Structure 1
Amino acid sequence: MTSVPSMFDRIGEQDPDRDYFATGGTGRSHEFYTGEEQFRREMKEIYGRRWLPVDHVSRLGDKGSYTTLDIGTGSILLIHGDEGVQAFHNYCRHRGYKLVEEPTGRRQSIVCLYHCWVYDRNGALKSLNGTYLDHFFDKGENGLIPIRTEVRFGLVFVSFSDDAPDLDDALAEFGEFARAYELADLQVVQAKDYPVASNWKLVAHNVNESLHFPTAHKDLHRVTDFDDAGTYMLGGDLVGAWQVIHEGYNSVSSTGRSERRPIPSVPEGDLQKINWITILPNLLFGFTADYVMAQWVWPESPATCTVRHFWLFHPSETARPDFSHEAVFALWDKANHEDWELCERTHRGLSNPLWSPGQLSLDEEVVSQIDAWVARATDPATGGTGTAT
């Protein structure tokens, strides 16, 4: 462990007298990881009714700026309107045509290419060019269907439910990390989507443990110490851990070194650390001294998902004429492809009904925490609340 204290030390690590320390953990069933019914419950009780982080405000900075995202079988449109960022269902109210296919862009009007209905950047229906509708039609009632939208710490959240659990309760101590790394002020410099042929939970497992670094990620293992690490004790819908960067390196990148200055608010005790913090169900942050990575996993089916990866940097660094993030992207793009092969091969193994769950080590405690959280949220006996009714 590093000798310089961190401001996050007061959050504390897990109690050494906890049950997990005495027994370790155990994986869950074939059905839990690959089953159709379990996936249906996850889409209904987790992705259908909780607050989901979907984007970063830096990608929606100007009025008319938009991004799109597919969640399950649906699609959402995030657009910066006159009252800020708002999410809408990405379908025309007329006949359901998908409005925007591009992942990002800027428009002041959203035009349906099927029958030329036109919506403004606030989702209101402006015109019905070519469509004759008479006294029975109220244009004011036929704007885009809004989705509940909130912004916290530079992250845009949406919920498809009117009774979603409280967002601030779910985020618990996340604000301490977000403020220390100035998350709201960072800029997304690059984004990339990866298709992965595995269940989404296996990706969440993979990105929340470093036990596989020595065998799977030679470049990461050279720069980071998988064994000098620990697990945080966090509330809400958070899980997290920390890991030390080897002496002689100052950046988690293909070179291990960078001329970028640390993000100004990062505590001295965390300059040589990665703080791995996940907002459940699906957003992992790697908080490092000179940049932040954000990695979403979006489920598509029990056997497929899409991983969306952002790399965020401080504006004081992106403004420099010599700014470059190539070494950061090179490391993570290579590691990502290595990870997806691990997840896909694991999914194929877990798909065998004869597979039985194995023992989890102390280094895989967050894996166990993720499974326990999903199990509580999808338990039919509790109606997805995680508490007895």
Structure 2
Amino acid sequence: MTQPSSMFDLIGEQAEDRPYYETGGRGRSHEFYTGEEQFRREMDRIYGRRWLPVEHVSRLRDKGSYSTVGIGTGSVLLLHGDDGVQAYHNYCRHRGYKLVEEAVGRRQSIVCMYHCWVYDRNGRLKSHNGTYLPHFFDKSANGLLPIRTEIRHGVVFVNFADEATAPGGFPDLDETLGEFGEFARVYELDKLECVQAKDYSVACNWKLVAHNVNESLHFPTAHKDLHRITDFDDAGTYDLSGDLVGAWQTIRDDYNSISMTGRSDRAPMPLVPDGDLRKVNWITILPNLLFAFTADYVFMQWVWPETPGTCYVRHFWLFHPTETVRSDFSHEAVFALWDKANYEDWEMCERTHRGLANPHWAPGQLSLDEEVVSQIDSWVARTAGGTR
């Protein structure tokens, strides 16, 4: 395949004659952002039926490796078994005890510490503590409950829907991903290594985090370090299909990496087009996973809903294996910038939620720099329905 000069060659930008360019957009109602009923619809129709990206394969390379993710009131356990990575509901089949609390690790057996039921890395029940006679207990039917699992481009996806009963049919994963594979290929996403992960608790509705991480209009006031290195005005919005939204932004002339120093001696990833070497491509797989694709690293940032007014954010920093094996490899300057920016963002999101919780909130006008915010709200409204 001929190397493109830029991701523009593969994807294309939004045209200026689009409706949003003529009118801009507006925010939505108090109930849309903070309402209990709206939240229940989103948990049912989005998080309960759509394909959800939950993990990167680099954290599950070895047999017996595992990770967990909380989604609403539930928990998912991802296990690398003999046939690859499989997701399960993270509770014991006996009395519902939550099996694994740790975010990531490696085990060959999963032991319920309540009554000592033991499961192998393939989710099968190995042993139990009690008297269960064969005429009423089928050991093979009491393994961990599996969740539909697929892997694309180095990302693990799960879906909780029942294909036979899902309203409107079961969504096709490849169709929902649209052009995402082009970004994944160019940045070699499936080869990258997660060198650090961190979870953050945020007291706001999950959509407010999705908004915040998909616009850079707030950089000059909220993120002095990011604004020094990136130019929020030299930016644009991609024209993407599927469950995707995306935009791009440039790195200022004096810098070559988004970090506290703004400089890096890491080699650019080999397939990144010349036109993207000093650019960050912000691509979100809806509902909740943002990628920042840069020439020398990629980050993945999820927002997971807990209640209408709380969520948690999971952030991965990924680098090319040709760099992580170097004796002088360090990601500290990258982590320091984003960790600081994250806490700055969470304050913005929490204060916004407190404002939107006021039933007298009236939606405001959105600028051209906030087009992706409008796209996210429109997608949620189409997919989950509910209040305007």
Aligned-residue CA RMSD (Å):
1.2
Equivalent pair of 1:283/1:295 in contact (CA under 8 Å):
yes
How far apart, in 1, do the equivalents of 2:88 and 2:349 lie?
32
The equivalences for 1:284-299 within 5 A come to 284-299=290-305
- From 357, 377, 384, the counterpart of 1:371: 377
The residue aligned with 2:280 is: 274
Which residue of 2 is the match for residue 89 of structure 1? 89
Q: Which residue in 1 is equivalent to 2:197?
A: 191
Alignment of 1:168 onto 2:174:
yes
Instruction: Find the counterpart in structure 1 of residue 125 from structure 2.
Output: 125
Q: Does 1:346 align with 2:344?
A: no
In 2, the alpha carbon distance for the partners of 1:22 and 1:110 equals: 56
Matched, 1:327 2:352: no
> Do 1:115 and 1:131's aligned partners in 2 also have CA atoms closer than 8 Å?
no
The answer to whether the 8 Å contact 2:92/2:112 transfers is yes
1:221-300 matches, cutoff 5 A:
221-300=227-306
TM-superposed CA distance for 1:133, in Å, is 3.6
How many percent of aligned residue pairs carry the same amino acid? 78
Whether the 8 Å CA contact 1:116–1:130 is kept in 2: the answer is no
Question: Structure 1 residue 212 and structure 2 residue 208: aligned?
Answer: no
Shift of 1:131: 4.1
- Following superposition, the deviation at residue 9 of structure 1 comes to 3.2
Q: What CA distance in whole angstroms lies between the structure 2 residues aligned with 1:32 and 1:133?
A: 52
Confirm or deny: 8 A CA contact 1:225 1:244 kept in the other structure: yes
Q: Write the letter of the residue equivalent to 2:152.
A: R
Residue 350 of structure 1 aligns with an amino acid whose one-letter code is: L
CA distance in structure 2 between the partners assigned to 1:304 and 1:212 by the alignment: 22
CA distance in 1 between counterparts of 2:238 and 2:60 reads: 32
The residue type paired with residue 60 of structure 1 is: L
In the alignment, which residue of structure 2 is the partner of 1:100?
Answer: 100
SS of residue in 1 equivalent to 2:346 = helix
Q: Deviations over 1:206-260 (max 9, x none)?
A: 0000000000000000000000000000000000000000012110000000111
Distance 2:35 2:73 in 1: 18
Secondary structure, aligned partner of 2:246: strand
Worse-matched range after superposition: 126-135 or 152-161: 126-135
Give the alignment's TM-score, normalised by structure 1. Answer: 0.96
For 1:83, give the aligned amino acid: D
- Where in structure 1 are there 5+ consecutive unaligned residues? 382-389
Letter in 2 for 1:79: L
Q: Is the Cα contact below 8 Å between 2:110 and 2:120 reproduced in 1?
A: yes
Shift of 1:380: 6.1
Aligned partner of 1:150 in structure 2 is: 150
Q: Per-residue deviation at 1:8?
A: 3.0
CA–CA distance in structure 1, aligned partners of residues 40 and 292 of structure 2: 29
In 1, Cα distance between equivalents of 2:101 and 2:131: 23
Q: Which amino acid is 2:354 matched to? A: R
Q: Offset of 1:150 from its aligned partner? A: 0.2
The 3-state SS of whatever aligns with 2:33 is: helix
Q: Could you list the per-position Cα deviations for residues 177-234 of structure 1 after superposition, in whole angstroms to 9, with x for gaps in the alignment?
A: 0000000000000000000000000000000000000000000000000000000000
- Which letter maps to 2:356? L
| Structure 1 counterpart of 2:272, one-letter code | V
Task: Please state how far the C-alpha of 1:162 moved relative to its aligned partner.
Answer: 2.5
Give deviations 1:113-171, integer Å, cap 9, x for gaps: 11111110000011113344442111111100000000000000000003331100000
Written as runs of structure 1 = structure 2, the 5 A alignment for 1:126-141 is 126-141=126-141
Distance in 2, Cα, partners of 1:8 & 1:98: 46
Distance across 1 between alignment mates of 2:106 and 2:7: 40
Describe the SS at the equivalent of 1:253.
Answer: coil
- 2:62 is aligned with what amino acid? D
The AA in structure 1 aligned to 2:183 is F
Structure 1 equivalent of residue 12 of structure 2 = 12
Whichever residue aligns with residue 122 of structure 1, its letter is: N
Alignment match, 1:45: 45
Q: Does the 8 A contact of 2:32 with 2:386 survive in 1?
A: no
Structure 2 counterpart of 1:125, one-letter code: L
State the alpha-carbon separation in 2 of the partners of residues 188 and 324 from structure 1. Answer: 13
Moved over 4 A (4+): none
**What residue is the counterpart of 1:21 in the other structure?**
21
The amino acid of 2:179's aligned partner reads E
Where does residue 70 of structure 2 map in the other structure?
70
Aligned length: 378
Paired with 1:192 and 1:376, the residues of 2 have a C-alpha distance of 32
1:177 maps to 183
Deviation of 1:48 after TM superposition, in Å, equals 0.3
Match of 1:200 among 200, 206, 219: 206
Q: Secondary structure at the match of 2:158?
A: strand
Q: Once the 2 structures are TM-superposed, how far is the Cα of residue 5 of structure 1 from its aligned partner? A: 4.2
* SS of equivalent residue, structure 2 residue 248: strand
Q: After superposition, what is the alpha-carbon deviation per residue over 1:253-273, rounded to whole angstroms, capped at 9, x for unaligned?
A: 000001111111111110000
